[in-house]
Amino acid sequence: MASLFAKAVEKKQIQAGEAKATNKGQLWTVGDPTGDEVGKAVHELILIKAQKKALEGREGIQKTVVANFAKRRFISEIAANGVLPETPMKVQNADGEQVTYVSQDRSGLYGVKPEQKQMLSELLGEDVAGNLLYTEVSFKFNRDVMAKPGVSEALDKILQAAIAKLVKSGVLAEEDELVQADVKESFKPGTLSRIGQLCGSDTEKIGSFLEIGGSSFTRFILP
């Protein structure tokens, strides 16, 4: 019976072959848009696509205007009250029309780059910035070692027993690193909710903190 690894490789090869086989594609020609139902539908879809693109451009411009206003109010509310504004946060005009300003704390999902860490240290001090971050370690198989003869087949059975067997048989050496670590430093979950405590009533500091956080503190307008 083929191993799970072998089956996975075979499936990948089949999929790659199918992709190559269909690379040239197929063209089906229909009639004139003025008289043929399908031809007209194709024409309408192309028009709608162009209209959607134009609308998305207009939407982006208007979202930016409202987002800039909401960002200023968001920061001023934090500075005044020391905590995040209550949700949902709405922007409403004189006619009662509303859109929502969304703020999401995605701390822990994205790694913090060295330049972000440096800017945080300059903004809040090295000790405070350090306490906002934590290091997450994930592991993966060493690709070079996995490529050695017999490794994947043995791992298809009982992993720990296979490692011991491979070391004993000489396929792997004691110093071979079967497992590699991927280290990511990111904001601790809930960091955004501490922004008032961290930055006080300084609006510039609050704004800088949000900008430094980048994708970890996502904010956007939702119509």
pLDDT single digits (tens) 155-212: 776 667 777 778 889 888 877 876 666 778 999 999 999 999 999 999 999 999 999 9
- The answer to whether residues 103 and 211 belong to one domain is yes
- Which structure tokens are listed for 142? 């060493």
- The answer to whether residues 169 and 193 belong to one domain is no
- Using the predicted structure, report yes or no on whether residue 103 has a pLDDT greater than 80: yes
Residue 161 lies in a domain: yes
148-186: string of b/e by CB count within 10 Å (b at 16+)? eeebbebbbeeeeebbeebeeeebbeeeeebeeeeeeeb
Residue 12 lies in a domain: no
- The answer to whether residues 200 and 113 belong to one domain is yes
Confidence of residue 151 (pLDDT cuts 50, 70, 90): confident
Structural contact between residues 198 and 83, judged by C-beta atoms closer than 8 angstroms: no
- The answer to whether residues 112 and 209 belong to one domain is yes
Q: For helices 37-81 and 203-213, what crossing angle results, to 10°? A: 140
- Using the predicted structure, report yes or no on whether residue 136 has a pLDDT greater than 60: yes
- The answer to whether residues 104 and 37 belong to one domain is yes
What separation, in Å, do the N-terminal and C-terminal C-alpha atoms of the chain show? 55
Sign of CA dihedral 41, 42, 43, 48: positive
- The answer to whether residues 38 and 107 belong to one domain is yes
> Highest mean pLDDT range out of 15-19, 105-109, 156-160?
105-109
pTM above 0.85, yes or no: no
Interatomic CA distance for residues 104 and 106, integer angstroms: 6
Residue 113 lies in a domain: yes
Please give the angle made by the CA atoms of 188, 139 and 135, to the nearest 5 degrees: 20
Sign of CA dihedral 159, 160, 164, 165: negative
Residue 138 lies in a domain: no
Confidence of residue 3 (pLDDT cuts 50, 70, 90): low
Total domains in the chain come to: 2
Q: Return the closest-CA partner of residue 74 out of 38, 102, 95, 41.
A: 102
Containing domain of residue 201, as a range? 33-132+187-222
- Which structure tokens are listed for 25? 């594609």
- Using the predicted structure, report yes or no on whether residue 2 has a pLDDT greater than 90: no
- The answer to whether residues 95 and 161 belong to one domain is no
Whole-number pLDDT of residue 51? 97
Whole-number pLDDT of residue 28? 92
- The answer to whether residues 115 and 211 belong to one domain is yes
- The answer to whether residues 103 and 166 belong to one domain is no
How confident is the model over 1-11, as a mean pLDDT? Answer: 54
- Using the predicted structure, report yes or no on whether residue 24 has a pLDDT greater than 70: yes
Whole-number pLDDT of residue 137? 79
Whole-number pLDDT of residue 164? 75
Whole-number pLDDT of residue 150? 84
- The answer to whether residues 101 and 202 belong to one domain is yes
Confidence of residue 23 (pLDDT cuts 50, 70, 90): low
Residue 194 lies in a domain: yes
- The answer to whether residues 122 and 171 belong to one domain is no
Structural contact between residues 134 and 186, judged by C-beta atoms closer than 8 angstroms: yes
